[in-house]
Structure 1
Amino acid sequence: MTDSGKPINPDDYRPHYPFQSHFLALGDLRYHYVDEGSGNPVVMVHGNPTWSFYFRRLIGALSPQYRTIAPDHMGCGLSDKPDDQAYDFRLERRVADFGALMDHLGLDRITLVVHDWGGMIAMAWAVANAHRIARLVITNTAAFFPPGQKSIPWRLWIIRNLSGFATPAVLHGNLFARGAVYMAPHKRLSPSAKRGLLAPYHCPRNRLATLRFVQDIPLVPGDPGYEIVSRTQRRLEGLAHLPMLILWGRHDFVFDVDYYNEWRRRFPRAEAHLWNDAGHYLFEDVPDRIIRQVNNFINKYNV
């Protein structure tokens, strides 16, 4: 809903998102997710500032053979848009929400597909639930602190630390979501893709999550979420026995090739592909190759 009560216009994301909506009640809030098809589950976890629309092509391609599930983090996509009084926009709560959905659906033998901040959320849950995971698909994300003690990009640092600038710029100017549709892909997005990616973030109230995600990036001890990241990166080796596919767009100013190399260092047996013609939004840049690689990977380990 907008501040004036006007709902999101479905024409901004359909017909490219022809999926039935499902909702899980988390207290007084509704957590939206897609649940299409049947068979072994493939769970897709988006980052910031995307939503389940980002996985629309993969859902469409895999749902004839698999059960495809894609939640929207609270405050994102078609989930409710609470304020700070109604919701704690912290990593701990994000992980708990995701775990509640996995428990609600009773999923195991999961193929987990993660992107951006969705990787940190889902992998924090996965290291504590490795027995429920069958395969991992890692795409331009992290489940550890920045490798080599590197700093976060200055664009994120400004939003994270300079609230006097970031709050009006992100909430009223839609700086983060609107900037991402130009900076995150390597190729020009179609008008329909831009409309779909931006559809949920069409008023200041609906953009709060995109701001809080950046402000919640844990970097030093004492930051909320720091211990979760620390624990997750220590426990990642507990997933080393699982088949893993790493798909990466080279032109990513946040999750750059250093992150790709760190994943490969930690999981040397993983199948990995680095594309020179893709950026952070690699599902938009090279969707056909993504679909082919993921489908082949699942079928290869479909035991």
Structure 2
Amino acid sequence: MIAPHETFGGTYPFRPHFSSAPGFTMHYVDEGAGPVLLCLHGEPTWGYLFRDLVHRFSAGHRVVVPDHMGFGKSETPADRSYLVQDHIDNLEAFVLDLDLHDITLVLHDFGGPVGMGLAARRPERVARVVSVNGPTPFGQPGLGAALAGNADEAPWFRWIARAHRDGRLESVLGELGYHILSTLKLNGFENNQVISDTWIEAYGAAFPTPAEALGAIGWAKGLATGAHVFEEPSGAARAALAGVPALAVWGSADRTLNGGYFLPLFREAFPGGTVAELPGVGHYAFEDAPEAIAGLLAEFLDTTSSAVTVAS
């Protein structure tokens, strides 16, 4: 894992915090005060993805950014499973440990199903949902077809399936720290202006050895084997969350998660939700279009709460 006080040249200057409630050492950023923005990253990123959002929104919100097990500054235990259902367990324990309420979930990539798992289990704690290129599977009948159709088209998913068949998945992803940039580009990363040695180091530093890459391997292998379990909400939870204010922001240049498959699932789960598509923005939309996302998020929060303060 990344050293606790590593700031990557001051680009991630936030004080580290840790929780042992999930059964391992889970790192999180906790900046500001007020209504909670709980930001959940995916593959193969960590809390660094949300650094701009933390700067902008901690003036009026409590911005909490955990690193999932096996990512960022969190521990990578050798004896744990890294499937979606395990990350949901971890997140639930974390949220209960911090006793977070009135949560606005901010979801990206695998953070989508993990965050929706929390929402299914603890709907009373979720006030809003914001999906940024993050699927919101909620046990819908169309989920299987969406996953299959997307997997047939997306280069990343096709590579996972082929590498698993060939027995190369663990060996290749075990070296993720050395080919992090090509992985990000394959998934759909468009804003080359942000690339620097520091930026590449920040994203690759969590995976220096195969033993430290178990989180990335687990998420990919779960897709290849069909081992991920998406949380099925109760009828009461589904009905409660259907009325929650929700926003989907989707970079339409995403080569890994095609909005044509996943935005219908969002609309089904949140019939009153709002969708904004961003042309030319890729899978890592927080890197490609931070100002556009900040503006949409600020407007959404402003219209669903009494006040929001955003730093310039």
Match of 2:160 in 1: 159
Instruction: Flag the structure with higher strand content.
Output: 1
Distance 1:36 1:198 in 2: 24
Is the 2:14–2:31 contact (alpha carbons within 8 Å) kept by the matching residues of 1? yes
Which of 16, 27, 37 is residue 21 of structure 1 equivalent to? 16
Determine if the alignment matches structure 1 residue 247 to structure 2 residue 240: no
Distance 1:175 1:150 in 2: 30
For residue 243 of structure 2, what is the amino acid of its counterpart? H
Any idea what SS the aligned residue of 1:252 has? coil
Q: 1:54: how far off?
A: 0.2
C-alpha spacing 1:139/1:170, structure 2 compared with 1 (3 Å): same
Q: 1:245: how far off?
A: 1.0
For residue 184 of structure 2, what is the amino acid of its counterpart? V
* CA offsets 1:156-190 (integer angstroms, 9 cap, x no match): 24435336211211113547744333233122142
Is the 1:140–1:260 contact (alpha carbons within 8 Å) kept by the matching residues of 2? no
Deviates more, 1:278-287 or 1:187-196: 187-196
Match of 2:195 in 1: 190
Deviates more, 1:134-143 or 1:179-188: 179-188
Any idea what SS the aligned residue of 1:10 has? coil
C-alpha spacing 1:286/1:165, structure 2 compared with 1 (3 Å): same
Distance 1:197 1:237 in 2: 38
Q: 1:117: how far off?
A: 0.4
Q: 1:78: how far off?
A: 0.2
Distance 2:287 2:234 in 1: 28
Distance 1:285 1:27 in 2: 32
Q: 1:141: how far off?
A: 1.7
Determine if the alignment matches structure 1 residue 103 to structure 2 residue 96: yes
Which of 56, 63, 66 is residue 61 of structure 2 equivalent to? 66
Distance 1:31 1:23 in 2: 5
Deviates more, 1:47-56 or 1:186-195: 186-195
Match of 1:273 in 2: 276
C-alpha spacing 1:274/1:239, structure 2 compared with 1 (3 Å): same
Match of 1:282 in 2: 285
* CA offsets 1:38-86 (integer angstroms, 9 cap, x no match): 1111100000101000000001111111100010001100001222xx2
Match of 1:215 in 2: 221
In structure 2, stretches of 5+ residues that fail to align are 138-142, 307-312
C-alpha spacing 1:140/1:87, structure 2 compared with 1 (3 Å): same
Aligned length: 291
For residue 298 of structure 1, what is the amino acid of its counterpart? L
* CA offsets 1:80-108 (integer angstroms, 9 cap, x no match): 1222xx21212222101101111011111
C-alpha spacing 1:173/1:23, structure 2 compared with 1 (3 Å): closer
RMSD: 2.5
Distance 2:270 2:252 in 1: 19
Q: 1:33: how far off?
A: 0.6
Which of 120, 129, 132 is residue 113 of structure 2 equivalent to? 120
Q: 1:125: how far off?
A: 1.1
C-alpha spacing 1:9/1:206, structure 2 compared with 1 (3 Å): farther
Of all paired residues, the percent bearing the same amino acid is 25
For residue 156 of structure 1, what is the amino acid of its counterpart? F
Is the 1:143–1:232 contact (alpha carbons within 8 Å) kept by the matching residues of 2? no
Match of 1:135 in 2: 128
In structure 1, stretches of 5+ residues that fail to align are none
Determine if the alignment matches structure 1 residue 46 to structure 2 residue 46: no
